[in-house]
Amino acid sequence: MNLRQSRVADQIRDILASRFYGDQIDDPRLKNVCITRVKVTADLQLASVYYRTLDDKQIEFASKGLESCKNRFRKLLAQELIARRVPSLRFFYDESVDDVNRVETILSQINQNQ
């Protein structure tokens, strides 16, 4: 990611994440959602927004909530983002934390067996 992509991604993450703190979102499906990172395409037309939930059982519930609020988030970005065009948003559950935990578990098992 180049510097401009990185800056736009950080701005999008900050704008969206700020809405999830302090109960600024009225959709109950999004109460336990945390925005973890954002990736933007080179042409700045598409933003992949990664999120986590506090309860793993609510992933599908949160996914539906994010999809239904997608246009509202884009409108919010249009108001606050310093850019000519507002990228389209795609939401993905961030599995990187699960991957790290899996690797740590495997490494600890290897250390115990030695």
Query: Domain holding 78: CATH number?
Result: 3.30.300.20
Q: Which residue has the tokens 């539906």?
A: 64
pLDDT of residue 22: 66
Letter for the amino acid at 3? L
φ, ψ for residue 106, nearest 5 deg: -65, -45
pLDDT of residue 99: 66
How many domains is the chain partitioned into structurally? 1
pLDDT of residue 26: 83
Low-confidence ranges of the chain (pLDDT < 50): none
**pTM recorded for the entire structure:** 0.82
pLDDT of residue 38: 96
Tell me the C-alpha distance between 107 and 39, whole Å: 29
